[in-house]
Structure 1
Amino acid sequence: MIDVIMKLATGYRRSVVWTLTLITIAAAAFIPSITIDTDPENMLPDDNPQRVFHNEVKETFAMHDMIVVGVVNKNTVYNQKTLTDLHTMSNYAESLDGVISDDLMSLANVDNITQEEPGTIRFEWMMKQPPESNAEAQYIQKQVKDLPLLYNTIVSGDDKSAAIYVPIESKDQSYALAEQLREKIATLETNDDWHITGLPVAEDQFGYEMFVQMGISAPLAAAVIFALLWFFFRNVRFISAAMIVAMSTVLITMGTLIALGFTVHIMSSMIAIFLMPIAVVDSVHIMSEFSDRYREKGNAKDTIKDVLRHLFTPMLFTSITSSIGFYSLMLTPIPPVQVFGAFVGSGILLAFLITVLFVPAYICALKPSTLESFTQVTHDEHKQGWLQKMGATAASHAKLWIAFFLAVLAFAWFGIQQININDNPVRWFKPDHEVRIADEVLNDHFAGTYNAYVVFENTLDTTEKARSAVRDALNNDALSEESRDAISALLEQEQVNFNQWIIAIDDLLFSVGSDQLEPLERLMTELEQLNSASKAFQSPELLAYISEMQAYLQTTGLVGKSNSLSDVVKTVNRELRSGEEKDYELPDNANGVAQTLLQYQSSHRPQDLWHFVTPDYKRSLMWLQLTSGDNQHVTQVVKAVDSYIQDNPLPANTEMDWAGKAYLNVVWQEAMVEGMLDSLISAFVVVFIMMVLLFRSVVFGVLAMLPLSLTIAFIYGLIGWVGKDYDMPIAVLSSLTLGLSVDFAIHFIERTRATFKQTGNWKDTLVVMFDEPARAISRNAIVIAIGFTPLLFAPLVPYITVGVFLASIMAISAIVTLIMLPAVMTVFSRLIFRGDQS
């Protein structure tokens, strides 16, 4: 294999270089057509039941994604200036392309519901024109407080904040619309504080800033890595080979991803920054050993051939194990994570292939004078002895080190027990980001800007009963042939329309003899009863159940506010009766409910009714406002509803389910955690089997897994101890830890075994191992760890998280490898090497 590679690399140098160049350019040509996607909904497959149901609910109840524009006045928003500005912003928002103006909600375009006279109600605009005085503003304040649907929804309970809910046609327009709204706010001459928030804004703005971050972090990482390589090798021409490998790997991988039609999600946006440091690992090993061996050989071709023969197997296995760690992510049920794992895993293998072909070709093309100066500098650098001291310390205090690592494992185990699984797209921004500030301010004033929906559905099949009633009527001998034909025509209709059927029977009653009246009247009565039963959510009993659930949720402190059809009916019923609080209740019968709803449809916004109930009254929605979109918070709300239903079973023939973006986040988070656990266990088993096969020894296979196991345990124990939420980036890092932590162990063990065969004893082997092999491992750890540091300066929390933990992972795994393995090998040398020790 080495001979074939060397023949390709050195015999066809120009072909290797041109082939790599052309492939890189061809792949990079697709990068400008990149499509950004940060919608957490896409964390679930298109056919996921909860996602399908969520989208069906949105369409059925005309629920749109919302941008929330809020104004805060330190005293009260009920003043002439603030309400005038609110009116201006509301009208401006309505005029924007991409805004569903009919459903926009603010004081400027909602109805005030008042009593005209007993039995009659009046609908008038709450604030058709801006108030001309503070007195008019205070009148509006009184009206709002009488309307439960509006109070603490479009005006906060403390009267210091008011909101505009801006429904949008498409989530990917939210950043552009938010920017237009910010520009308009900047033209207002006001002392009020204005804020813009909402999950669509957070997600789309994250996409914009993610795109910018991609363009900053990858070049910065390249610059940092270049500087580190120069520090280690002090020769720009020599280290350029590693940089070419890294850049080609990144460009080919990202170009291929985009060319295949994949969108760039939050995870795949990190592919470039992940691959940049990882892609230079094998090059660093080659350059480190080449610098040691070149002085002996004096010939680049012979030296690189010896180096490759020595390093090919460990480099191959480290590349495969690293890729397995990422490929394991494809076992998760999260499409963006699957794409991320597939392309990073493939990128690692691609980097290995480019390294073993291009780097030898490149080195053999360098002038001898360049190589001579390079080896002179690195030879001088090698005189440093701190690595030898580390090796000696690890061996001389081996048992103490083993005890220390066992204590670390215990520390980690208790930390893992404290890990909190939680995520929230708004928390992807730093605390001082305008989106994060807006979210905190508005949720502090209002009942909540996060939405979750409890959807009730009546499952009683009245249509089949209606068809059965018609078929029974056809069997009545009293009906004439003409009557039977007219009734039979109803059964030929695909869907049962009760109103049409009742009208058809009623018309038939006027054209038949008295002998046919009784069966037809009985049929019409039965259809009327079924029609009433089909409109389940006109039932006072069912609406009362929903109202009681709302009252219970309010007592939990988990829900800021809830709105439902029950609130609409109670409000209109109050105004139809006395307009006083004592009549804020549900009517006694279904006809009373129907009357209130008919009155409500006379308002300026009759379509609002269909946000709470379907036109056939078989499904109804309860809108929950939450002050937090954290998964833990939403999960507690779900558990509270489950607890209520357990104690108060749903009415007969009624089912309940969940929808809303906040709830979907919980669904994909749970799927991610389960999927990550499965992928981690599977990858761990596969890597262990590979280690046993590589070293042809169970003992060495176990040894290779020790640094990996301790690193994973320590990192996740630390997460638990510091209270960092287990979110999407942290979950993905589990597989990254597995893939990279074993790399150093493979190189250390492979080189140890080869060296032991030459020295015949562990003491001399240890001295050799803490020369070039330990130096190469430490260099790689430093390159990868510091290569991720540009992420620490990102304005986006997931990038910072990845930067911190990747640097920690590499540093810890290198230290564990260079201390734990020598310590264990010292204590158990006879078992491990099965030879005489001196």
Structure 2
Amino acid sequence: MLRDRLVSLSINHPRWVFVSFLLFAILAAVQIPAIQVDTDPENMLPHDQPDRVYHEEVKARFGMHDMIVVGIVNETHPAGIYNPDSLTTLHQLSEAILSLEGVIRQDQMALNLVDNITQEGLGTIRFNWMMAQPPENQAEADAIREAVERLPLLQNTLVSGDHQAAGIYVPITHKSESYRLSQEIQAIIDTFDSQDRFYMAGLPVAEDTFGVEMFIQMAISAPLAGLMIFVLMWVFFRSFVLITAPMIVAMGTVIITMGLLIGQGYTVHIMSSMIPIFLMPIAVVDSVHILSEFSDRYKPGEKPRQALQEVLGHLFTPMLFTSITSAIGFASLAFTPIPPVQIFGLHVAFGILLAFLLTVTFVPAYIMSLSDKRLAQLKDHSLQEDDNSRLGRALSLTGKLSVKSAKPLLAIFMAVILLSAWGVSQIQINDNPVRWFKSDHSLRVADRVMNSHFSGTYDAFLVFEKNLSQPPHAQLTTELTRILQENQATAEQQLALQEMLSEAENNDFDRFTSDLGALLDQASYLDLDNETLWLDLLDEVERIQVEVKYFLSPEILDYMDRLMQTLQQSEDVGKVNGLPTLVKTVFRELNAGDDTHYRLPDSARGVAQTLLSFQSSHRPDDLWKMVTPDYLSSLLWFQLSSGDNQDVSRVMQQVADYMAEHPLPDGVSAHWAGMSYINVVWQEQMVNGMLNSLMGAFLMVLVMMIVLFRSIKIGLLAMLPLSITILFIYGLIGWIGKDYDMPIAVLSALTLGLSVDFAIHFLERARAIYRATGSWPATVDEVYKGPSRAISRNAIVIAIGFTPLLLAPLVPYITVGFFLATIMAVSALVTIVILPAVIQQIKDKDRLFGGQQEA
């Protein structure tokens, strides 16, 4: 039998247990220096997830890059940012950033790196650098302001509408460079003697900074929590001998589990960084149960072997089942579609089972290695403290109250359950990586300030695509063949066209149509008798050449323009930039230059001519950020002042509503991309996945409880603390207005483990005592002298032990610390107060527990 083998190994060969434990710990520890941290929310989705694949495709198609947004704010000067000193500082900072490694220089945007578009004469425009040199006086600064205000693409993007802030958009080679670059940019800023204030914002820098601070916090929080638990256990038990074993088991469990994760090549995500925090309480709880029972049974002077065998014989099964049920709770996270959550759940499940194995081997081996003197000290610090202690008296009163006032207590808890259910209905699913920092963090401050001035530092892209019924080459061939047939062309003419098509054949459609057009034009001169036919074919080539470049069409541009204007009236949308804005701006300057000509051209040829003029600018490739070179795909760049999922989802719904009322043209589709959209996707998948895994794990735990107790009734009773705790915790989240985010989502797994642990130990001991006494009052009295004390003490130690997390600068750690303590408190309270009250209402206790009838 597994139990007997493990007990025999630990009691008879303690040195082998120590050596094996040490070797595994060392092997795991040497893996930890290879740790790699990853806080990229994109990796919350599998690499082949369709939305993620499309997002990456859009970035490649339009040459989009992750960006750091640097803001310069001046709220004191009458001209705001448009004063010579501020613009000089902006110019110097922008030029300095260009020299940094990892910056994509040609795509950086700032006032010194964009064009001022002006009219050179009717039909001619000029492109001059907006700020080639810093202004020397206020008049020059005012001229820059006037120029920016004439260019909708720049207004409220590069300079805020209130004139108090200017931005530098710094595209970077990879988002993992964000933190390093932000530090180097800050070092440049620190060299300026300026009255301006500087900020850095954007999802990439927030995510990468979180990764750095998470790494630091991971190295601080878990040891601090461990130290706090150690101190509290010493305060309770006053014996280093007693508390050493649980702490070694807990630390060993954490080291081996993290070493395994890192050794397998997994990166440490925000979830896996919390593995030590989740494992610590679970690993400590089982060890304390063994020491508590042993200190009761052991008598000084005797050999500890017999007492250990009795303790492990009594506790092995409930500890095994609590470990398995806790592991099931976390392993169920493997069924979520979020890879970091899967890895987190599976490794915590492994750590829980490892903690059980170490508890039933290392702790007995540790006790066997103690001298008689130390064993006597262990007995002197028995966990079963005097009934006259404060905790003893409180628990004794609680037991009596639970039985005598069962109905009022149950009525109160029913009211709490109803309020909790209402709270659950108020929960909002929402997340935003910037909110992972405390409100006074520099990134949160920057986020508030910059989004109060600018249109928004959060990006989302709406991509329009034209789906052609057939490839352009085939479409052109089909139409030309049709014209030949309509004109009853001769075989010679058909052969001549085939030769032209073969001669002009080229994969690039523009080159193909250009060469074919030249051949047709030449044929119209050489074959004057059939000039009309060749010119008709030439006209068809030119028509299809424009038609397949769909986003040159004024009709689709007008649709996009009307959508942009409608959405910009929404409070949720800061600004929308797109191809229509560029076309209207250039078209205005090609004509009279006044606002009456700020419109779209009447024909596709006019649009093409407008864009051809733009490509004479200093930044011609900016066009391909808005439309692909084949003109079959175009995007709108949404600037949002909030990256919260709720806000982004609301914008998406507004777009959907508009398209429902104004259907897209035939063959045109629209899809979302951008990091703000990706955050919405993984959050929705996480919530649905967590719900499914929680329901599945709940049913599995219920089956485990019925199998363990061999009783449906007791199995259901064991699930009561778990059910109430889950409902209360999520009700509390709704009451306080806390958003349902990633850390909150995984708390259900921890609730499953800890709540069931307390219930199993309480019910197992209650059943054993009832069978021995045959009396429910006697059972209650005895239960509140033993198991209730162990449960209460464990709850207090763990709950208070993780209070250092409340001082962390990262919100997810604070969230976990607070709710972990709440889970411990609620699950312990329900176990020692509500369970006895519910059992009190069951009349046939003899049938419930399988004992004798009450006296």
TM-score by length of 1: 0.97
1:666 maps onto 2:672 in alignment = no
Instruction: Give the C-alpha shift of residue 191 in structure 1.
Output: 1.6
Partner Cα distance (2:671, 2:495) in 1: 47
Partner Cα distance (1:574, 1:509) in 2: 34
Aligned position for 1:533: 547
| RMSD over equivalenced CA pairs, Å | 1.8
2:833 aligned residue (795, 805, 819): 819
Aligned position for 1:607: 621
Instruction: Give the C-alpha shift of residue 358 in structure 1.
Output: 1.0
Aligned position for 2:693: 679
**CA contact 2:501–2:516 (8 Å) conserved in 1:** no
Aligned position for 1:8: 9
Aligned position for 1:402: 410
Aligned position for 1:506: 518
Instruction: Give the C-alpha shift of residue 378 in structure 1.
Output: 2.3
Aligned position for 2:104: 100
What are the equivalent positions in structure 2 for 1:753-772 lying under 5 Å apart? 753-772=767-786
Aligned position for 1:413: 421
Partner Cα distance (1:153, 1:484) in 2: 51
Aligned position for 1:120: 124
Partner Cα distance (2:480, 2:607) in 1: 28
Aligned position for 1:639: 653
SS at match of 1:99: coil
Aligned position for 1:285: 289
1:137 maps onto 2:137 in alignment = no
1:704 maps onto 2:718 in alignment = yes
Aligned position for 2:299: 295
SS at match of 2:491: coil
Instruction: Give the C-alpha shift of residue 510 in structure 1.
Output: 3.5
Letter in 1 for 2:509: N
User: Larger deviation: 153-162 or 69-78?
Assistant: 69-78
Partner Cα distance (2:108, 2:430) in 1: 32
Aligned position for 2:183: 179
1:425 maps onto 2:437 in alignment = no
Unaligned runs of 5+ in 2: none
**CA contact 1:325–1:739 (8 Å) conserved in 2:** yes
1:272 aligned residue (276, 284, 288): 276
Aligned position for 1:549: 563
2:663 aligned residue (649, 652, 657): 649
Instruction: Give the C-alpha shift of residue 380 in structure 1.
Output: 7.8
Aligned position for 1:188: 192
Given the superposition, is the C-alpha separation of residues 443 and 270 from structure 1 closer, same or farther in structure 2, using an over 3 Å criterion?
A: same
Given the superposition, is the C-alpha separation of residues 704 and 119 from structure 1 closer, same or farther in structure 2, using an over 3 Å criterion?
A: same
SS at match of 1:784: helix
Instruction: Give the C-alpha shift of residue 771 in structure 1.
Output: 1.3
Aligned position for 1:211: 215
**CA contact 2:567–2:654 (8 Å) conserved in 1:** yes
Letter in 2 for 1:801: T
**CA contact 2:74–2:81 (8 Å) conserved in 1:** yes
Partner Cα distance (1:675, 1:515) in 2: 73
1:374 maps onto 2:378 in alignment = yes
Aligned position for 1:64: 65
**CA contact 1:241–1:362 (8 Å) conserved in 2:** yes
1:739 aligned residue (716, 733, 753): 753
2:502 aligned residue (489, 494, 502): 489
Aligned position for 2:475: 465
Aligned length: 837
Partner Cα distance (1:389, 1:297) in 2: 35
1:27 maps onto 2:40 in alignment = no
Partner Cα distance (2:301, 2:854) in 1: 32
Partner Cα distance (1:379, 1:439) in 2: 51
1:787 aligned residue (801, 821, 829): 801
The one-character-per-residue Cα deviations of 1:497-553 (angstroms, maximum 9, x if unpaired) are 243244135326646755776655444433322221111111111111111001110
What are the equivalent positions in structure 2 for 1:200-279 lying under 5 Å apart? 200-279=204-283
The one-character-per-residue Cα deviations of 1:176-233 (angstroms, maximum 9, x if unpaired) are 0000111111111012111011100100000000000011011111111211222233
SS at match of 2:569: helix
1:170 aligned residue (168, 174, 184): 174
Instruction: Give the C-alpha shift of residue 488 in structure 1.
Output: 6.1
Instruction: Give the C-alpha shift of residue 341 in structure 1.
Output: 0.5
What are the equivalent positions in structure 2 for 1:586-597 lying under 5 Å apart? 586-597=600-611
Partner Cα distance (1:506, 1:116) in 2: 33
**CA contact 2:301–2:372 (8 Å) conserved in 1:** no
Aligned position for 1:451: 459
**CA contact 2:456–2:575 (8 Å) conserved in 1:** yes
**CA contact 1:498–1:528 (8 Å) conserved in 2:** no
Partner Cα distance (2:421, 2:743) in 1: 21
**CA contact 1:509–1:517 (8 Å) conserved in 2:** no
SS at match of 1:556: coil
Partner Cα distance (1:645, 1:55) in 2: 25
Partner Cα distance (1:647, 1:482) in 2: 50
**CA contact 2:463–2:636 (8 Å) conserved in 1:** yes
**CA contact 2:292–2:384 (8 Å) conserved in 1:** no
**CA contact 1:314–1:750 (8 Å) conserved in 2:** yes
SS at match of 1:333: coil
The one-character-per-residue Cα deviations of 1:385-430 (angstroms, maximum 9, x if unpaired) are 2222221111111111111111110110111111111111101100
Instruction: Give the C-alpha shift of residue 741 in structure 1.
Output: 1.2
Letter in 2 for 1:478: A
Partner Cα distance (2:150, 2:529) in 1: 57
The one-character-per-residue Cα deviations of 1:663-694 (angstroms, maximum 9, x if unpaired) are 11111111111111101111111111111111
SS at match of 1:38: coil
Partner Cα distance (1:617, 1:426) in 2: 36
**CA contact 2:300–2:379 (8 Å) conserved in 1:** no
SS at match of 2:568: helix
Given the superposition, is the C-alpha separation of residues 130 and 509 from structure 1 closer, same or farther in structure 2, using an over 3 Å criterion?
A: closer
Partner Cα distance (2:699, 2:747) in 1: 18
Partner Cα distance (1:520, 1:35) in 2: 66
TM-score by length of 2: 0.95
User: Larger deviation: 378-387 or 400-409?
Assistant: 378-387
Letter in 2 for 1:281: V
Instruction: Give the C-alpha shift of residue 716 in structure 1.
Output: 0.7
The one-character-per-residue Cα deviations of 1:783-814 (angstroms, maximum 9, x if unpaired) are 32223222111000011001000100011100
